[in-house]
Amino acid sequence: MIVGPDGAPWFTDGGQNAIVRVDPATKQVKIWPLPAERMPYTNLNTAAFDGKGRIWFTGQNGIYGRLNPMAGDIKVWDAPKGPGPYGITGTPKGDI
């Protein structure tokens, strides 16, 4: 779980293969599932925000992806070296 630039908790949900946000004021839960072709098992891991407010994530089954929460657009790509990526981070400049 990480705290996003909006002050809300965000997490990768391996059970639902989704990115999840919980509104701290209303407790409303917003779920962005991965595209159907990436289901059912991705083993999602650590996420990080970039300087544009997009959340990036990895999955140990050989993926990485990005969610643009403002547009609701989620993209997933194959990891260059296949299965195994665990974690991702942002730099102070906002790069991933």
pLDDT digit string (tens) for 61-89? 889 999 999 999 999 999 998 888 888 88
Question: In this structure, what CATH number is given to the domain that contains residue 18?
Answer: 2.40.10.500
Task: Tell me whether residue 95 is in a domain.
Answer: no
Specify the pLDDT at position 37.
Answer: 83
Task: Tell me whether residue 14 is in a domain.
Answer: yes
Specify the pLDDT at position 32.
Answer: 96
Specify the pLDDT at position 36.
Answer: 84
pLDDT digit string (tens) for 22-53? 999 999 999 999 988 877 778 898 899 999 99
For the chain, helix (H) and strand (E) counts, in that order, are 0, 8
Contact 1, 10 (CB under 8 A): yes
Contact 41, 2 (CB under 8 A): no
Domain limits for position 46: 2-78
How many domains does the structure of the chain reveal? 1
Specify the pLDDT at position 52.
Answer: 94
Rounded mean pLDDT, 17-21: 95
